[in-house]
Amino acid sequence: MYKFNLIGGMLLVVLCCAVLPGKLVEREVARAGALIPVEVIKVNCNASGAFRFMHFRFQGKQHSLKIDPASCQRLQVGQTTLLRHLDTHPDVFLLPSNYSPGESLSWCALFFLGSYAIISSVMRLRRRRA
């Protein structure tokens, strides 16, 4: 049982270490990013909810951004829209209304849960061997 908790805790910590830095960058862009105008090139609304994307041009480069269904219906090709962006993170763009601060907190909580599972499992496995 404790070996299962140890493996599960390790998987949680590895997953969080992979995802959390990106979420923290999104948080920084949402808090301090300026609203910049971008030109919408393509909007893909026909796919499922997980794969709705907006392709846009900013400073001569093409970027894409995952969007929600409401934004997908609102945006049209050729339209100019405002996105949050920081120059320190050139590939991170956010719709002004799409950032959820609770998401970063959830990933932090999962990281601490995984860390707790690792520590408690290691301690109990040590007691068992002694």
- What's the whole-model pTM score? 0.72
C-alpha–C-alpha distance, residues 72 and 52, integer Å:
7
pLDDT of residue 120: 92
pLDDT tens column, 94-117: 888 777 778 878 888 999 999 999
C-alpha–C-alpha distance, residues 77 and 38, integer Å:
11
pLDDT tens column, 38-96: 999 988 877 665 678 888 988 888 998 888 777 777 888 888 889 999 989 888 898 88
